[in-house]
Chains A and B, each alone.
Chain A
Amino acid sequence: MWRRLSWVGRVSGILLALFVFMALFAPWIAGDSKNPEDWLPLIKFGPESADIFTSPFLAAPDSAHLFGTDYIGRDVFARVVHATKNSLLFSVAVMIASVIIGTLVGAVMGFFAGRLDMILSRIIEVISNFPIFLLQLTFLAIFGSNYFILFFVMIFSNWISYARYTRAEFFRLRNLEFVQAARVLGSSRSRIIFRHLLPNSLTPILVLIPFDLASTIIGLGGLSFLGFGEPIHVASFGELLNQAREHFQRAWWLAVFPGGALFLLTLSLALFGAAVRDMLDPRLGK
Chain B
Amino acid sequence: MLQLTPGSPLELKMQRDNRGALGEQSAISEEAMENLKRLYHFDKPIHVRYGLWLNDLIHLDFGKSFAEHRPVLDMLKERIPVSIAFGLTSILVALFIGIPLGMIAAAYQGRFIDYCVSVILIALYSTPVYVVALVLLTFLGGGDFLDLFPIYGLKSDDYETLSWAGQIWDRAHHFFLPGLCYCLGGLAFIAQQQRSSLLDCMRQDYIRTALSKGLSERSAFLKHAFRNSLIPTVTLLGGMIPGILGGGIIIERIFSIPGLGLLSYEGLLNRDYPVIMANFTISSFLVLLGIFIADFLYVVVDPRITFDERGEG
Whether A266 contacts B126 by the Cβ 8 Å rule is: yes
CA of A65 to CA of B77, assembled, Å: 48
When each residue 245-282 of chain A gets 1 if its CB lies under 8 Å from chain B and 0 otherwise, what string results? 10011101001100110110011011100100000000
A64 close to chain B: CB less than 8 A: no
A53 close to chain B: CB less than 8 A: no
| Contact among A132, A143, A270 with B125 in the assembled complex (CB-CB below 8 Å) | A270
On chain A, the residues within 8 Å of B130 by CB distance are 221-222, 225, 238, 241
CA of A85 to CA of B151, assembled, Å: 32
Whether B249 contacts A134 by the Cβ 8 Å rule is: yes
| Contact among B145, B253, B276, B287 with A226 in the assembled complex (CB-CB below 8 Å) | B253
Whether A141 contacts B245 by the Cβ 8 Å rule is: no
Whether A286 contacts B242 by the Cβ 8 Å rule is: no
CA of A266 to CA of B132, assembled, Å: 13
Interface residues of B in 112-134 (CB under 8 A from A): 118-119, 122-123, 125-128, 130-131, 134
CA of A255 to CA of B134, assembled, Å: 6
Closest-by-CB residue of B relative to A249 is B143
Contacts known (A131-B280, A131-B287, A132-B246); A218 close to B134, Cβ less than 8 A: no
B193 close to chain A: CB less than 8 A: no
Whether A248 contacts B137 by the Cβ 8 Å rule is: yes
Closest-by-CB residue of B relative to A211 is B126
B269 close to chain A: CB less than 8 A: yes
Contacts known (A222-B250, A226-B253); A142 close to B279, Cβ less than 8 A: no
CA of A232 to CA of B127, assembled, Å: 23
Whether B131 contacts A8 by the Cβ 8 Å rule is: no
Whether B145 contacts A252 by the Cβ 8 Å rule is: yes
A186 close to chain B: CB less than 8 A: no
Whether A133 contacts B126 by the Cβ 8 Å rule is: no
Q: How large is the interface on B (under 10, 10 to 19, 20 to 34, 35 or more residues)?
A: 35 or more
A146 close to chain B: CB less than 8 A: no
The minimal Cβ–Cβ distance linking B273 to chain A, given in whole angstroms, is: 10
On chain B, the residues within 8 Å of A228 by CB distance are 268
Closest-by-CB residue of B relative to A278 is B118
When each residue 142-186 of chain A gets 1 if its CB lies under 8 Å from chain B and 0 otherwise, what string results? 110000000000000000000000000000000000000000000
Closest-by-CB residue of A relative to B283 is A131
* Tally of chain A residues near chain B (CB < 8 A): 40
Whether A285 contacts B196 by the Cβ 8 Å rule is: yes
CA of A225 to CA of B252, assembled, Å: 13
CA of A93 to CA of B118, assembled, Å: 29
A137 close to chain B: CB less than 8 A: yes
A23 close to chain B: CB less than 8 A: no
A54 close to chain B: CB less than 8 A: no
Whether B143 contacts A262 by the Cβ 8 Å rule is: no
When each residue 211-241 of chain A gets 1 if its CB lies under 8 Å from chain B and 0 otherwise, what string results? 0001000100110011010000000001001
On chain B, the residues within 8 Å of A255 by CB distance are 131, 134-135, 137-138
The minimal Cβ–Cβ distance linking A280 to chain B, given in whole angstroms, is: 16
The minimal Cβ–Cβ distance linking A54 to chain B, given in whole angstroms, is: 25
When each residue 243-259 of chain B gets 1 if its CB lies under 8 Å from chain A and 0 otherwise, what string results? 00111011001100000
Chain A to chain B: the 9 pairs with minimum beta-carbon distance, closest first = A249-B143, A133-B246, A270-B126, A259-B131, A131-B283, A141-B268, A266-B126, A255-B134, A255-B138
> Chain A interface (Cβ within 8 Å of chain B)?
8, 129, 131-134, 137-138, 141-143, 214, 218, 221-222, 225-226, 228, 238, 241, 244-245, 248-250, 252, 255-256, 259-260, 262-263, 266-267, 269-271, 274, 285-286
